[in-house]
């Protein structure tokens, strides 16, 4: 069923009776070519691209709860491709290009809104690092603009330019950065994947992998055993727990990441803004809520909730750069489980168990990667070799020393 | 018009009159009023517009669950959007304006959305606005954004202050109604430390809103008597106007106390205080929230919850209408009729969805048992209602009771899930409560007064006994108990008009049904697709009826359908309160160096370095450009002598028998054999083999070392050392302590530095080149006995020393150094000159030690110890950190010496296109060298050391720069270090 303005008109005049379910509720088949574990953004995107780009349609996406119930439904909706390292930037820039055509591709308005992302800097060393990054982006064909203090003031006159503890000196702007309606991404991929024949199995939790002689042959689920030629895990914050069922310890720790939304306000913040001297970033949703966040809570946890020290730290950062938001109120705060890898970069790779594949380690930046991650995972599943823009996202990169440490933080278990 | 709806009684102070403005019109009210009760008293029914369709809306509730009556309070920078009129205490001069309309509140141009509603169903925007491709950002989205949102921020900094505090108690009681006050009696009598928090400005909850009798007293009298006892207790802290907004780990409760929101002006006192309450036990007595029944046009101004109607009549002496009809599915509707009649308010009808006999009928009222309201009439406020039997009933207010939802929110903040109870048709707390929490009264599903009193008293006793206090005597007062008698009834199927569930976000029954039809049948999908429950009230009234509709669509029960997740805050909390005083210049503390005051006297310009403020340069009269300050400081230091405050470098005191072995293990170069009285440069690696930090370590005695770190890594290195000591090698006899702030340290650099120091070092210490050579250190005294440490180390490349004294002498020492240097024309120099000199010498700093480079990358491969093992030694040998193409540190200078290099520019071979494939490295630090008189840079380039003399391009697409540069040694100045050793 095609979505269009015309369809909305005709449906409105006939009582909106003709809208169909966006995805079926199929019963599981006994076997599939590919099983994807986890119907989040990445899993659903993988299924869609498997069907669309690689003609593999005998695919099931298994989800413990409801589709999109993980990080795709609880992130702060930001998309950007402002990375520096050659192992990362081409991947994220390609993801950005996929975002740019996603609505037409899916026939679903996921509200890709390229209102820009502005990273503020507050001192010379920070500026120099941003220049290096901005130039890396430009060399990779992405867009980046260096703003001085006056440029920033024109764009965001509400920043504190007078009494700021860490004065704003300028910023790196990616005009093509922005936000996307996060839930709709899951729904759009699910709808189109379903249309192409993919089975989306909700409330179907994987309880174990069928591994025989070093080969993965399927999964046991709450809806029975399902065989598959290939099993592709894509479970973000649950990576550690799920891979443990296959006896694999992944270089990932699960952490709590909180996010916040304010009451709805008339438009006041143009795009996405990040503070450079504290942990705070913000955008304003189309409904008017300020959507913001900051640092991870800083302890290992699978609980999708956080605690007050970080809440206060985030709000302090917000008030430091835009003291006008003091009288806006936080409406809701929530936590997600982020899969922090040891160098801050993800994995899209085979495992040592034949037929078992792994996608994870997206840290707090998986949402913007959704389209490219899905495509590259599908490419790996279909062709048995990595896509060229994801060729560095290997599980063995730590033993080889080819780490992709964008921030230069190093592996900091328990801290990050 | 003045208070036409004011009736007798109530808890307001009629002796005083308060003037206030709504949408520019002046009204009167009394102390004790809320803005909502005062507006109702004045007959103002229309107070706002809904979010999506801009439908006219009035006051629905009398509390924090209000979805409609949101106003913009106060003016100018104090403007406060989305403020609930039902919670706003009236004060003299209050100004409020209605929100979310174009044109006037009454004639809102955006109400055209309502006419288009068949097209604007749930999720319509996902299906359109996709063509043409570029129009989303340019056309559709701006239009949607402009019409969305509710109130408006002023755009000015919030002028108020906010405080934060911590409270500790044995028992936290949340809610000061019948259950909460009873719990406070037993808990308080036991002697335990008790906090009683109540969101309203008046304690009592429903007791002061109803006409129930207890112990032969009215509710208000009992509350007054109880409060008299409680306020006399010294172990009990009362917190009215205080919302416990969240339950966090370890019995910590997030709490907001509104200190001055009810005053015309806060007189510089904090507006709100954000408390973190640490409790041993918590008793949740948060009561219950009434819900509507959905039927056609049930959103018009004048439709109100029955309980709110009683509250306005009983507590605030206001009748919400002159002719009131009642629609109910439980006995509360009838209680409303009785209360209204007693107050002399005309009740036109009681429509009860239940079959069976009518109860006491108010005179003149029609009673319809098994009745259904299918529609209401009246554009800006209801005039009449229509029943399914065709009957039309005139009414200017309709009191609706669809049953009560226990306020289980806080029981769910730690992952708990509520359980359904059919007998009250509501969710009640589950058994997985936050640790230490119990629930009593209506919040626990005990909706009657007797139950609340008994449960509250018992909960107080159980909690106190649990933590070791003795039981208190308590007899709940006798009261009339009436069954709820609810028969679940969610919406009127016969209605053909839109029936509203979420009044603020404009979600109807049909929207929920459509979501289900389109496959969004999981409760979270329904919420996210329709936006039900996502408004500023978080669906306090709407969620449960919507669940019932969804359950019907999916043929499931309500408990099988489940709820969405309850998240903090219970009601919205201002961002300013969470930030407290950490804003503006107080966002983070300043760390000031010991020479700060002196530098201020010298008119130094400062720069933020982490939390430190450091002198960046010291301008002199006649200089107009910062380059002049820096060039002078560099040249004079290199020519004679300069002084720089280097206190900010991390200083770590390391002591113990195993200190040498410890240093051998944390540094990548050997330290075990460092002689007493000597200093050595040290490079530290992370466990993954990447360079972590560098600095010097001096050996003061056999068992005592002093390490310096970079300013940026002072904390992380110290943390790293503690981790190594405590976790990796707990057997080592070594202790570390940060001494960064205990010593003031100055660099004295330049050919005349020894002569300058000679004038203050006490004569018994020989600092001649022979006695105190390069890399020597000693504990000495200066200025006649002041203890000091002297290190002969150099960052500038000159003959140089660093001298440290206890911080309290730091200010004196800078003054002594400058005075002693007068004969040599000493200059103080700032961080910029420091940076220029280190780049001229090719020393790595933050731009080079960026957490991505190895010792080899930095040209320090030869430094690595071959004889000892150390942190990072294993993983640094991985192939990825040693392959030939890795960029290594080199120097760069422009071929055309008049051009400048830019830090952050990338390196591309001549003749190649500027693309990522051809990227060979980057420039990490640059300086305009006054010594060499041209721009120099440090940077990393593939196979650097083998390309000395090659010419490459330094490109900076961000600024359109493309400069040819020559690859040179990173040691631009005095590469053999001759000046250090003289």
B865 within some domain: no
Cβ separation A122–B149 shorter than 8 A: no
d(CA B532, CA B524): 10
Spell out which residues of chain B touch residue A141, defining contact as CB-CB under 8 Å: 915-916
B898 within some domain: yes
- What is the per-residue DSSP string for B414-469? TS---EEETTTTEEE--S-PPTTEEE-GGGGT--SHHHHHHHHHHHHHHHHHHTTP
CB A2 within 8 A of CB A194: no
Q: Which residue of B has its CA nearest to A3?
A: B127
Cβ separation A334–B567 shorter than 8 A: yes
SS3 of residue B290 by DSSP: strand
d(CA B345, CA B319): 7
Q: Which residue of A has its CA nearest to B116?
A: A12
Tell me the CA distances in angstroms from B161 to A93, A293, A317, B167, one per residue in order. 43, 23, 16, 20
The residue count of chain B comes to 982
Judging by DSSP bridges, how do beta strands B323-328 and B346-352 pair with one another?
parallel
State the total domains in chain B: 7
Cβ separation A111–B136 shorter than 8 A: yes
Output the six-digit token pair for B629.
Answer: 């300050």
pLDDT tens series, chain A, 416 aa? 789 889 989 998 888 999 999 999 999 999 999 999 999 999 999 999 999 999 999 999 999 999 999 999 999 999 999 999 999 999 999 999 999 999 999 999 999 999 999 999 999 999 999 999 999 999 999 999 999 999 999 999 999 998 899 999 999 999 999 999 999 999 999 999 999 999 999 999 999 999 999 999 999 999 999 999 999 999 999 999 999 999 999 999 999 999 999 999 999 999 999 999 999 999 999 999 999 999 999 999 999 999 999 999 999 999 999 999 999 999 999 999 999 999 999 999 999 999 999 999 999 999 999 999 999 999 999 999 999 999 999 999 999 999 999 999 988 776 65
SS3 of residue B219 by DSSP: helix
- Tell me which DSSP letter residue B884 carries: T
Interface predicted TM-score (ipTM) over 0.90: yes
Question: At what angle are helices A370-383 and A89-100 packed, to 10 degrees?
Answer: 110
Strand order through the sheet with B25-29: B25-29, B18-22, B94-98, B70-73, B80-84
B573 within some domain: no
CB B172 within 8 A of CB B197: yes
Spell out which residues of chain A touch residue B913, defining contact as CB-CB under 8 Å: none
Answer yes or no: do B440 and B333 share one domain. Answer: no
Residue A104 touches chain B, beta carbons under 8 Å: yes
B595 within some domain: no
CB A49 within 8 A of CB A61: no
Cβ separation B583–A316 shorter than 8 A: yes
Residue segments in chain B with a per-residue pLDDT below the cut of 50: 1
Burial class (CB in 10 A: 0-12, 13-18, 19+), B132: exposed
- What CATH number is given to the structural domain containing B558? 1.10.10.1100
Spell out which residues of chain A touch residue B588, defining contact as CB-CB under 8 Å: 165-166, 278
CB B233 within 8 A of CB B203: no
d(CA B189, CA B465): 12
Which of B386, B402, B418 represents a domain boundary (last residue)? B402
Answer yes or no: do B421 and B523 share one domain. Answer: no
Would you tell me which residues 292-351 of chain A have a C-beta closer than 8 angstroms to some C-beta of chain B? Answer: 303, 305, 307-308, 311-312, 314-320, 323-334
CB B244 within 8 A of CB B407: no
Cβ separation B128–A90 shorter than 8 A: no
Answer yes or no: do B221 and B248 share one domain. Answer: yes
Q: Looking at residue B721, what is its pLDDT?
A: 97
B689 to chain A nearest CA, in Å? Answer: 9
A51 to chain B nearest CA, in Å? Answer: 21
Cα–Cα nearest to A125, from B632, B614, B685, B392: B614
Q: Looking at residue A240, what is its pLDDT?
A: 96
Cβ separation B569–A202 shorter than 8 A: no
- What CATH number is given to the structural domain containing B169? 3.50.50.60
Output the six-digit token pair for A36.
Answer: 């994807």
Query: What is the enclosing helix (H) or strand (E) of B785?
Result: none
Answer yes or no: do B336 and B284 share one domain. Answer: no
Q: Looking at residue B813, what is its pLDDT?
A: 98
Residue A7 touches chain B, beta carbons under 8 Å: yes
Task: Give yes or no for a cis peptide into A411 (omega within 30° of 0).
Answer: no
Q: Looking at residue B815, what is its pLDDT?
A: 98
Q: Which residues pair with A378 in a beta bridge?
A: none
Identity of the residue in B80, B155, B582 whose CB atom sits nearest the CB atom of A158: B155
- What is the per-residue DSSP string for B577-623? HHHTT-SGGGSSPPEE-TTHHHHHHTT-EEEEETTEEEEEE---TT-
- What is the per-residue DSSP string for B679-720? EEEEEEE-TTSSEEEEEEEEEEETTEEEEEE-STTHHHHHHH
CB A183 within 8 A of CB A109: no
Would you tell me which residues 170-209 of chain A have a C-beta closer than 8 angstroms to some C-beta of chain B? Answer: 181, 183-184, 187-188, 202
Spell out which residues of chain A touch residue B129, defining contact as CB-CB under 8 Å: 5, 109
Cβ separation A328–B925 shorter than 8 A: no
Answer yes or no: do B254 and B173 share one domain. Answer: yes
Residue-wise over B149-174: b if at least 16 C-beta within 10 A, else e?
Answer: bbbbbbeebbebbbbbeebebbbbbb
Burial class (CB in 10 A: 0-12, 13-18, 19+), B34: buried
Answer yes or no: do B965 and B894 share one domain. Answer: yes
Q: Looking at residue A100, what is its pLDDT?
A: 97
Which option is the CATH number for A23-78+182-251+343-400: 1.10.3720.10, 3.90.226.10, 3.20.20.140, 3.50.50.60? 3.50.50.60
Spell out which residues of chain B touch residue A187, defining contact as CB-CB under 8 Å: 126, 529
B606 within some domain: no
* Contacts across the A-B interface (CB distance below 8 Å): 358
Cβ separation B414–A69 shorter than 8 A: no
Cβ separation A128–B904 shorter than 8 A: yes
Answer yes or no: do B359 and B221 share one domain. Answer: no
Q: Looking at residue A415, what is its pLDDT?
A: 64
Answer yes or no: do B631 and B675 share one domain. Answer: no
Residue-wise over B370-408: b if at least 16 C-beta within 10 A, else e?
Answer: ebbbbbbebebbbbbbbbbeeeebebbbbbbbbbbbbbb
Q: What is the tally of helices (H) and strands (E) in chain B?
A: 21, 51
Answer yes or no: do B511 and B543 share one domain. Answer: yes
Tell me the CA distances in angstroms from A100 to A143, A180, B130, B891, one per residue in order. 14, 11, 11, 41
Q: What is the pTM of this model?
A: 0.96
Spell out which residues of chain B touch residue A4, defining contact as CB-CB under 8 Å: 127-128
Identity of the residue in A110, A133, A401 whose CB atom sits nearest the CB atom of B878: A401
B810 within some domain: yes
Tell me the CA distances in angstroms from A57 to A185, A187, A378, B279, one per residue in order. 20, 18, 11, 56
Q: Looking at residue B173, what is its pLDDT?
A: 98
SS3 of residue B223 by DSSP: helix
Cβ separation A129–B518 shorter than 8 A: no
- What CATH number is given to the structural domain containing B804? 3.30.1360.120
Spell out which residues of chain B touch residue A251, defining contact as CB-CB under 8 Å: none
Identity of the residue in B158, B517, B582 whose CB atom sits nearest the CB atom of A327: B158
Identity of the residue in B531, B576, B914 whose CB atom sits nearest the CB atom of A139: B914
Q: Which of A141, A184, A264 to mutate to test the interface with B (most CBs of B within 10 A)?
A: A264
A412 to chain B nearest CA, in Å? Answer: 10
Spell out which residues of chain B touch residue A8, defining contact as CB-CB under 8 Å: 119, 124, 127-128
d(CA B801, CA B696): 13
Answer yes or no: do B146 and B173 share one domain. Answer: no
Tell me the CA distances in angstroms from B953 to A294, B6, B911, B965, one per residue in order. 39, 83, 9, 6
Spell out which residues of chain A touch residue B905, defining contact as CB-CB under 8 Å: 131-132, 135
Identity of the residue in B254, B567, B579 whose CB atom sits nearest the CB atom of A319: B579
B511 within some domain: yes
The residue count of chain A comes to 416
B92 within some domain: yes
A398 to chain B nearest CA, in Å? Answer: 9
Output the six-digit token pair for B603.
Answer: 């008119």
Q: Looking at residue B2, what is its pLDDT?
A: 83
Q: A114-177+253-341 in CATH: which number?
A: 3.30.9.10
Q: Is the dihedral of CA A102, A103, A108, A112 positive or negative?
A: positive
Cα radius of gyration rounded to whole Å, chain A: 21
CB A68 within 8 A of CB A183: yes
Answer yes or no: do B436 and B453 share one domain. Answer: yes
Output the six-digit token pair for B820.
Answer: 């002693």
Identity of the residue in A109, A324, A403 whose CB atom sits nearest the CB atom of B688: A403
Domain that holds residue B384: 292-367+374-402
Answer yes or no: do B280 and B309 share one domain. Answer: no
Residue A32 touches chain B, beta carbons under 8 Å: no
Tell me the CA distances in angstroms from B722 to B521, B727, B736, one per residue in order. 53, 8, 7
Would you tell me which residues 34-53 of chain A have a C-beta closer than 8 angstroms to some C-beta of chain B? Answer: none
Cβ separation B584–A160 shorter than 8 A: yes
Cβ separation A399–B413 shorter than 8 A: no
Cβ separation A264–B150 shorter than 8 A: yes
State residue A188 phi and psi, 5-degree precision. Answer: -65, -45
Domain extents in chain A: 23-78+182-251+343-400, 114-177+253-341
């Amino acid at each position: 069923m095609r979505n269009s303005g015309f369809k909305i008109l005709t449906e409105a005049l006939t009582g909106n009776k003709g809208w169909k379910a966006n995805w079926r509720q199929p019963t599981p088949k006994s076997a599939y070519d590919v099983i994807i574990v986890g119907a989040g953004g990445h899993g659903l995107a993988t299924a869609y691209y498997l069907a669309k780009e690689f003609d593999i349609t005998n695919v099931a996406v298994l989800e413990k709860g409801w589709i999109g119930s993980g990080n795709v439904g609880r992130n702060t909706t930001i998309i950007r491709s402002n990375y520096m390292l050659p192992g990362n930037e081409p991947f994220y820039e390609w993801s950005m290009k996929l975002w740019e055509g996603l609505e037409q591709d899916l026939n679903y308005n996921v509200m890709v809104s390229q209102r820009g992302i502005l990273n503020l800097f507050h001192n010379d060393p920070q500026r120099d690092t941003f220049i290096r990054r901005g130039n890396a982006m430009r060399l990779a064909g992405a867009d980046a603009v260096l703003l001085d203090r006056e440029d920033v003031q024109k764009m965001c006159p509400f920043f504190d330019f007078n009494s700021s503890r860490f004065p704003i000196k300028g910023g790196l702007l990616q005009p093509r950065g922005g936000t996307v309606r996060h839930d709709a991404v899951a729904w759009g991929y699910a709808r189109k994947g379903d249309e192409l024949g993919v089975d989306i199995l909700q409330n179907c939790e994987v309880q174990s992998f069928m591994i025989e002689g070093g080969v993965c042959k399927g999964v046991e689920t709450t809806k029975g055993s399902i065989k598959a030629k290939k099993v592709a895990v894509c479970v973000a914050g649950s990576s550690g727990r799920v891979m443990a069922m296959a006896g694999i310890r992944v270089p990932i720790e699960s952490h709590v990441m909180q996010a916040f939304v304010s009451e709805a306000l008339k438009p006041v913040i143009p795009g996405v803004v990040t503070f450079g001297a504290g942990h705070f970033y913000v955008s304003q949703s189309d409904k008017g809520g300020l959507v913001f966040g900051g640092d991870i809570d800083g302890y290992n946890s699978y609980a999708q909730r956080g605690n007050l020290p970080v809440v206060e730290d985030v709000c302090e950062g917000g008030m430091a750069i835009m003291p006008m938001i003091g009288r806006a109120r936080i409406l809701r705060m929530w936590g997600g489980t982020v899969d922090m890898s040891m160098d801050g970069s993800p994995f899209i790779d085979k495992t040592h168990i034949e037929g078992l594949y792994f996608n994870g380690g997206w840290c707090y930046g998986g949402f913007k990667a959704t389209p490219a991650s899905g495509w590259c995972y599908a490419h790996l599943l279909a062709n048995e070799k990595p896509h060229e823009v994801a060729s560095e996202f290997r599980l063995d990169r730590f033993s080889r020393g080819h780490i992709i440490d964008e921030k230069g933080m190093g592996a900091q278990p328990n801290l990050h | 018009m003045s208070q036409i709806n004011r009736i007798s009684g109530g808890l307001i102070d009629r002796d005083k009159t308060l003037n206030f403005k709504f949408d520019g019109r002046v009204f009167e009210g009394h102390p004790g009023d809320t803005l909502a009760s005062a507006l109702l008293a004045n007959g103002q029914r229309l107070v706002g517009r809904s979010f999506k369709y801009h439908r006219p809306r009035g006051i629905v509730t009398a509390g924090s669950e209000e979805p409609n009556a949101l106003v913009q309070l106060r003016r100018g920078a104090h403007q406060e959007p989305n403020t609930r009129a039902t919670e706003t205490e009236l004060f003299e001069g209050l100004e409020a304006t209605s929100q979310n309309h174009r044109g006037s509140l009454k004639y809102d141009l955006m109400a055209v959305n309502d006419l288009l509603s068949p097209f604007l169903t749930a999720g319509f925007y996902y299906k359109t606005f996709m063509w043409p491709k570029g129009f989303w950002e340019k056309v559709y989205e701006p239009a949607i954004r402009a019409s969305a949102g509710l109130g408006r921020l002023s755009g000015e900094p919030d002028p108020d202050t906010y405080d934060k505090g911590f409270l500790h108690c044995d028992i936290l009681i949340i809610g000061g109604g019948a259950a909460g006050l009873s719990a406070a009696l037993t808990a308080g009598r036991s002697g335990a430390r008790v906090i009683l928090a109540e969101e309203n400005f008046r304690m009592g909850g429903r007791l002061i809103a109803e006409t129930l009798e207890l112990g032969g007293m009215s509710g208000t009298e009992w509350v007054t008597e109880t409060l008299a006892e409680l306020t006399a207790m010294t172990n009990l802290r009362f917190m009215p106007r205080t919302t416990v907004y969240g339950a966090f780990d370890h019995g910590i409760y997030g709490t907001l106390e509104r200190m001055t929101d009810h005053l015309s002006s806060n007189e510089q006192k904090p507006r709100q205080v954000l408390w973190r309450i640490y409790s041993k036990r918590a008793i949740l007595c948060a009561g219950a929230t009434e819900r509507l029944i959905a039927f056609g046009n049930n959103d018009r101004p004048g439709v109100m919850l029955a309980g709110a109607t009683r509250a306005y009549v009983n507590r605030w002496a206001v009748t919400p209408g002159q002719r009131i009809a009642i629609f109910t599915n439980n006995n509360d509707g009838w209680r409303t009729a009785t209360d209204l009649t007693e107050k002399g308010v005309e009740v036109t009808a009681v429509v009860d969805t239940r079959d069976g006999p009518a109860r006491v009928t108010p005179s003149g009222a029609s009673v319809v048992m098994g009745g259904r309201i299918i529609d209401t009439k009246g554009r800006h406020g209801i005039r009449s209602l229509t029943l399914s039997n065709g009957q039309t009933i005139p009414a200017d207010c309709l009191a609706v009771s669809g049953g009560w939802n226990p306020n289980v929110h806080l029981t769910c903040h730690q992952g708990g899930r509520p359980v359904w109870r059919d007998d009250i048709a509501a969710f009640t707390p589950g058994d997985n409560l936050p640790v230490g929490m119990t629930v009593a009264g209506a919040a626990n599903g005990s909706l009657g007064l007797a139950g609340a009193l008994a449960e509250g008293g018992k909960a107080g006793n159980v909690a106190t006994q649990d933590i070791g206090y003795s039981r208190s005597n308590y007899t709940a007062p006798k009261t009339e108990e009436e069954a709820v008698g609810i028969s679940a009834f969610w919406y009127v199927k016969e209605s053909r008009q839109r029936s509203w569930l979420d009044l603020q976000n404009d979600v109807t029954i049909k929207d929920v049904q459509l979501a289900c039809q389109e496959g969004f049948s999981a409760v979270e999908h329904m919420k996210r697709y329709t936006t039900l429950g996502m408004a500023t009230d978080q669906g306090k009234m709407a969620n449960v009826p919507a669940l019932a509709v969804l359950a019907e669509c999916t043929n499931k029960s309500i408990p099988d359908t489940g709820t969405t997740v309850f998240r903090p805050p219970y009601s919205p909390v201002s961002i300013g309160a969470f930030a407290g005083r950490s804003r503006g210049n107080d966002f983070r503390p300043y760390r000031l160096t010991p020479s700060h005051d002196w530098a201020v006297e010298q008119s130094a310009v400062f720069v933020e370095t982490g939390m430190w403020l450091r002198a960046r340069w010291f301008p002199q009269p006649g200089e107009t450009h910062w380059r002049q300050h820096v060039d002078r400081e560099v040249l004079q230091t290199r020519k004679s002598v300069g002084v720089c405050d280097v206190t900010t470098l991390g200083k770590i005191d390391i002591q113990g028998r195993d200190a040498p072995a410890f240093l051998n293990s944390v540094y990548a170069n050997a330290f075990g054999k460092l002689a007493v009285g000597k200093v050595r440069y040290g490079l530290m690696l992370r466990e993954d083999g990447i360079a972590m930090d560098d600095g010097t370590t001096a050996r003061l005695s056999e068992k005592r070392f002093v390490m310096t770190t970079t300013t940026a890594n002072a904390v992380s290195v110290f943390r790293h050392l503690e981790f190594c000591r405590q976790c990796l090698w707990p057997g080592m006899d070594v202790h570390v302590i940060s001494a960064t702030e205990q010593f003031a340290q100055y660099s004295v650099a330049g050919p005349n530095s020894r002569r300058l120091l000679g004038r203050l070092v006490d004569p018994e210490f020989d600092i001649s080149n022979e006695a105190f050579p390069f890399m020597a250190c000693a504990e000495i005294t200066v200025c006649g006995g002041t203890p000091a440490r002297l290190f002969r180390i150099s960052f500038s490349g000159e003959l140089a020393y660093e001298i440290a004294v206890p911080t309290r002498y730091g200010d004196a020492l800078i003054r002594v150094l400058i005075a002693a240097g007068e004969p040599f024309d000493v200059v103080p120099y700032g961080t910029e000159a420091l940076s220029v000199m280190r780049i001229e010498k090719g020393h790595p700093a933050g731009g080079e030690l960026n957490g991505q480079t190895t010792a080899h990358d930095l040209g320090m491969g030869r430094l690595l110890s071959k004889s000892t093992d150390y942190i990072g030694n294993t993983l640094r040998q991985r192939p990825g950190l040693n392959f030939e193409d890795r960029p290594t540190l080199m120097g760069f200078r422009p071929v055309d010496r008049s051009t400048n290099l830019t830090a952050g520019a990338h390196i591309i071979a001549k003749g190649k296109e500027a693309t990522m494939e051809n990227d060979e490295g980057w420039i990490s630090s640059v300086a305009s060298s006054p010594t060499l008189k041209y721009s120099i840079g440090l940077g990393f380039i593939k196979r650097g050391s083998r390309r000395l003399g090659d010419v490459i391009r330094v490109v900076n697409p961000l600024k359109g720069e493309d400069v040819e540069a020559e690859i040179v040694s990173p040691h631009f100045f005095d590469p053999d270090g001759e000046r250090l050793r003289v």
